[in-house]
Chain A
Amino acid sequence: MSIGGSFYEEKNYSTCYMCACRCGIEVYKRNGKVVYIKGNEEHPLNRGVLCAKGSAGIMKEYSPARLRKPLLRVGPRGSGQFKEIEWEEALNIAVEWIDSARRKNPAKVAFFTGRDQMQAINGWFAQQIGTINWAAHGGFCSVNVAAAGLMSTGYSFWEFGDPDFENTRYLMMIGVAEDHASNPFKLGIQELKRKGGKLVFVNPVRWSYGAIADEWIPIKPGTDGAFVLSLAYVLFKYNLIDWEFLKERTNATWLVINKRGTSEDGLFYRDAEGNPLVYDKVSRSFKPAKLIVPEGLNPAFTGEFETPEGFKVRPAFDIFAERLIQDYEPTKVEKITGIPAKDIERIAKEIGTIAFFNPVELPLEWTDVWGRKHKTIRGRPVSFHIMRGVASHTNGFQTARAVFLLEMLLGCIDTPGGHLAKPPYPKHIEDFPKPIKIRSLKDLKYDKPLHGSLLGIPQNPDDLLVDKEGNPLRIDKAYSWEFPIAVHGCIHNVIPCAYKKDPYPIEVLIIYMANMAWNSSQDIPYIIKALTAKDSAGNYLIPKIITVDAFYSEQVAYSDLVLPDATYLEQWFALSLLDRPPSVADGPVDALRQPVVEPPEGFDVKPWGDVMIELGTRLNLPGFIKEDGSRKYRDFKDFLVNWQPKPGVGVLAGWRGEKGDKHFIGEPNPDQLNMYVKNRGFFYYRLPEHMRYNRHINRDYLEWAKAVGFVKRTDPIIMNFYLESLQTFRLAGLGLWKGENQPPEDPLIRDRLVKYMDPLPFWYPPFEEDISGDQYPFYAFTVRPQWMYHSWDSQNAWLRQISTRNYLYMNPNTAEKLGIKHLDWVWVESRIGRIKCQVFLTQATEPSCVWTWNAIGKMSGTWGLEETAQESQLGFLLNHIIPYNFRTGSREFFYCDPVTGHFAWFDLKVKIYKAEDQKASAEPRYSVKPLPHIEKRRGKILRYKP
């Protein structure tokens, strides 16, 4: 037998899309087919490794669930009755529907996208349509953490920042199972552990990274904020605080006005020029905060001072210190979190000692924005990483804020060993865009594209998207008084809102890469009712639904027109610095995705990018048409090269300029994509070492970042220890805001603003504690399996063998008290309904909660699976019993974080009891007819070998 020899004929570099990680891949082909996908060794993000999902990418090509041609619904919604139509007809229908809705009002077109990696481009498409109703999936993902990070530090976690794995000695992960950064994180954690660092895993479930954690803190769900603030208490008590960092880099010493009942209360005390002031202990006078470093001020952290105008002011830190001492002493927090006070104290001391007695000192000369030259860069080798377990509660924003304040106290923000930003971040917090401003839907015009960001960060109530009466203007109620800082929009509210015509009816709902009829919505029985409800004339209440997807999902089954997408191995695409790029902390990265195979024979599918260009052109949207009326872009590939949102700035930053000799800024280069192909699919600018840290105040970095368009100015990026902008909403709640937008008179809305829009973090119980009370004693939530996370969009033949179905995981002590045994079938009941599922006992679960895998349960008939598939027969979806709303008095609220509108699905509370009927069958059951070609394509044996 001869062994070895080249196994491939062709090798291409591209970017994976089996999840949100954006790893570089090498795709090998033989006989015209993909034979093997490997991690790209040169790629700075994944450095050659590839996870289970990426390795299973081939099976996506052969999934029987693949859509073959555009589909037009012929039976009732949800019946699965479609006819295949030609693209010409499909595009004509889409154009007619969108155009007719736009003529009435562009807001009647709503466009929402799921785990899409071209948000900048999709948002621009919505602007061209002229609708304000666009957002991606951040509203139910982790916007609480994203918003808290961006508003506090100018960056956040995941694509925004990572621990400095090279130098960190202590990493605390809070509420993280699997993450966007799938491969880089595993690479990082092994590096941390091999270098003798400590990994602490704060999570009700010991799973995923928790398996190799040096310590597991089994916290009660929804109490992380109290835990983090208690760590801050101990650090303060033992003086384990980086006072210099707080003084120079944050607004902790800025003075806050104490004038209750006035419109200035809680805002910063400013001089006549508007400069915030501090109290300088040396000169015993009020001085502009911007002089702290230049004049070597010694600003007070505590105390109360009387101003010449005759009122009192206090440093922001003082207010926070008082709060810590009053509410977050470890013995108090033990009762909330279930974590023994002695452990809270010990962990805080461990963090503090690593930060302050084992600092990292890198021998790198650098200059700060004030012109001071430094011989070394000092770092606090402590880092944090947080995600959905923090984000998906009704206290998620303030909990995430607490984590960012903890980082500030320790001085571990963008310093060696700490939490590093990934360029183009950090950015000046005040320079983040605000949502586009309109006062009425009448401001939207048929032929007027919108100039301005559809999403952004409101700085005060006048930035909200509400009308004169205070009613929401967006269909998802983002940027309304109900959740003012809805930074990523609220995709989860769209179907309920469109169904109830609240705030107004829409005509066309376009969904791209999101499964809103199933695992990306909550209260599925209600969602299905909303999607199928008709008026008395027999018309659907949500009139037209267009879905863009490559596979036969539940969402597809409930659509009217389906535009079949190509897979990630079949299309041109870019992972852009304008979006969330695959950057690393050492420098910006962007990347190309290129077609390496054609769709299978007989599959008439088109990448969404090409379809978007075609729709935009046929709709005569200004961005798609030249002045002479001819089409501007041939296809999406052409668009990727030639589209410029600003002169010189395009989708891809590498090899710009006519000759391809300019990076970041330069004219379009007709040969740019070939240059990416030649350069193994990505562009990476590795920053000089002295520009890799302290970037908020690193002069050389900021000057470079300004030159390449990442920031607008070179002033220091001062971090928001105190979030003054939230106070403006609080003032509005108190009737003290002087601007044009005023909240409704309803005390439920106003009290909510006063309570939750707190400029300093605090912990409060998840709302469900009050609503469900003791009747539903257990928290229930989902965890993402590492081999499926973000990859459940084809029910991959290999991955489904790893987890074909899910169970309800439960602590054995909890089960014993309930009279439940291993593998019993139980009812899990919330205040809105119940599901039947099977129990699996595990010691690795905090006793006050139960959990299951996310998105494994499927609707029978979808995803190319047989009707007997375990996913639909034994697997289940927790989403069925997660409430999408709650009522207080006469008012209905979406079940969202009151600051950001983040869907709080981890708040779910349930009771659990043994099912009378132990028949192995999950409930409720939904089914849809599979497409005929899918049934034919499904084989009983799979032996893939090109």
Chain B
Amino acid sequence: MAQYALVIDLNVCVGCHACAVNCKEWNTQGQFGPLSDYDPYGETPSGVWYNRVFTFEVGEFPNVEIFHIPKSCLHCQEAPCVPVCPTGASYKREEDGIVLVNYNDCIGCKLCSWNCPYGCREFDEIEKVMKKCTLCIDRIYDESLPPSQRKPACVLTCPAKARFFGDIEDPQSEAYKAIKERGGYVLFPSTGAVPSNHYLPRTEKELDLSDLEERILKPDSQLFLEVWKRIKTSKEDY
């Protein structure tokens, strides 16, 4: 059975929020929109965002790292938001594993958001229904779009190409390969929810010069020594 998901490469994510804003733009006009904003020009603007970027700082100066973690519904395989829904509005699709909310059946009781261990549900205070990432289901199945564009908006827009989309059960998919090749992991596996979205770890490039230092890198530039000696023997300033 297919399980569509996002794979996010933290090795190249610069935390620019492009994915979050383009998601908001797409989905606010899309079939699962709008994404309401409250107090947009006032004291405490807020709103519905299917995708948010969280920033963490790890370590102490100067050995400190900054991680930007974009987070949207992880489309869990054992989605805790589904069984708690009293009306069946919250459901997981058989064919592709996408977790959706049927707004017609949602009574806005918020049980699903209480039970989501990852805090990935977004309540629309105006419509009084629960909303969330749909993996741009209204894009990925839109046959009027060229095949290259049948991807979630966040994937298409990401300037760092940090996001992959595909069936993580399909060994041929980009997403599957990325997880296998790069050691993809899920957030807090202990929740038992078996999230489908994966993250790729950061790697740091280090250069090893020891071999070159041994063989070639010597402080023996003739011109350097010539000028150096001249300076040492003459105090005269040019």
Contact = CB atoms under 8 A, between A and B. Distances in A.
Interface of A: 1, 3-7, 30, 35-39, 41, 46, 48-56, 58, 64, 182-183, 186-187, 189-190, 193-194, 196-199, 206-212, 214-216, 218, 236-239, 241, 258, 301-303, 314, 318-319, 321-322, 325-326, 346, 349-350, 352-354, 357, 786-787, 795, 797-802, 804, 811-813, 842-847, 864-866, 868-870, 873, 938-946
B29 A7 contact: yes
Contacts of A813: 61
A218 B61 contact: yes
B60 interface: yes
Nearest to B216: A357
B205 A198 contact: yes
Nearest to B150: A4
A843 B142 contact: no
Interface stretch (B41-49, B73-81, B187-195): B41-49
A801 B207 CA distance: 41
Given A52-B18, A321-B224, A211 B67 contact: yes
Given A7-B142, A49-B157, 10 more contacts: A4-B139, A49-B18, A238-B219, A239-B222, A303-B226, A801-B46, A802-B17, A868-B42, A942-B36, A943-B126
Contacts of A322: 227, 230-231, 238
Contacts of B149: 41
A321 B227 CA distance: 7
B12 A189 contact: yes
Contacts of A211: 13-15, 65-68
14 contacts: A30-B29, A41-B148, A49-B158, A52-B20, A186-B16, A187-B160, A206-B65, A214-B206, A215-B204, A237-B221, A239-B221, A353-B217, A798-B47, A866-B42
Interface size range of chain B in the complex: 35 or more
A365 B22 CA distance: 44
Interface in B21-59: 21-22, 24-26, 28-31, 33-34, 36-47, 49, 57, 59
A198 B29 contact: no
Greatest chain A CB density within 10 A among B11, B25, B221 is at B25
A36 B38 CA distance: 21
A865 B25 contact: no
B24 A798 contact: yes
Contact of B34 (A54, A346, A944): A944
B209 interface: yes
Contact of A238 (B12, B28, B217): B217
B228 A238 contact: no
A321 B230 CA distance: 11
A126 B139 CA distance: 49
Contact of B41 (A4, A5, A865): A865
Contact of B25 (A55, A239, A258): A55
B22 A55 contact: yes
Contact of B43 (A258, A869, A938): A869
Contacts of B186: none
Nearest to A312: B238
A258 B237 CA distance: 12
A212 B157 contact: no
Contacts of A944: 28-29, 34
B137 interface: yes
B219 A237 contact: yes
B205 A50 contact: no
A801 B161 CA distance: 24
A189 B57 contact: no
B94 to A, nearest CB: 14
A349 B14 contact: no
Nearest to B232: A325
Contacts of B12: 189-190, 193-194, 212
B190 to A, nearest CB: 27
A301 B227 CA distance: 11
Contacts of A318: 227
Given A52-B20, A801-B46, A946-B29, A212 B221 contact: no
A366 to B, nearest CB: 29
A941 B37 contact: yes
A801 B156 contact: no
B38 A941 contact: yes
Nearest to A215: B204
A938 B45 CA distance: 13
Nearest to A48: B156
Nearest 8 A/B pairs, CB to CB: A239-B221, A186-B159, A4-B142, A55-B22, A942-B37, A52-B21, A211-B66, A786-B16
Contacts of A46: 159
B162 A7 contact: no
B102 interface: yes
Contacts of B223: 236, 239, 301-302, 321
A216 B62 contact: yes
Contacts, number: 269
B144 interface: yes
A425 to B, nearest CB: 24
Given A1-B102, A3-B137, A940-B39, A353 B209 contact: yes
Contact of A357 (B31, B153, B212): B212
Contacts of B153: 38
A673 B53 CA distance: 40
Contacts of A36: 25-26, 29
A4 B47 contact: no
A53 B159 CA distance: 12
Nearest to A346: B209
A843 B17 contact: no
Contacts of A238: 217-221
Contact of A799 (B21, B34, B61, B219): B21
B207 A350 contact: yes
A221 to B, nearest CB: 15
B14 A186 contact: yes
Contacts of B64: 206, 216, 843-844
Nearest to A802: B17
Contacts of A7: 29-30, 138, 142
A866 B16 contact: no
A115 B139 CA distance: 35
B42 A187 contact: no
A207 B66 contact: yes
Contacts of A53: 21
A547 B105 CA distance: 53
A326 B231 contact: yes
B49 to A, nearest CB: 8
B106 to A, nearest CB: 13
B221 A190 contact: no
Nearest to A206: B66
B157 A55 contact: yes
A325 B231 contact: yes
A847 B156 contact: no
A326 B235 CA distance: 11
Interface in B124-182: 126, 137-144, 148-149, 153, 156-162
Contact of B37 (A51, A346, A804, A943): A943
A941 B22 CA distance: 20
Contacts of A49: 18, 156-159, 161
B159 A801 contact: no
B213 interface: yes
Contacts of B142: 4-7
Contact of B47 (A795, A866, A942): A942
Given A3-B138, A319-B238, A787-B16, A868 B43 contact: yes
Nearest to B100: A1
| Residue in A6, A211, A357, A786 whose Cβ sees the most chain B Cβ within 10 Å | A211
A189 B9 CA distance: 13
A39 B219 CA distance: 50
A165 to B, nearest CB: 12
Contact of A3 (B31, B60, B206, B219): B31
Contact of A844 (B13, B57, B158, B216): B57
B42 A941 contact: no
Nearest to B98: A3
- Most chain B CB within a 10 A radius of its CB, from A1, A215, A864: A1
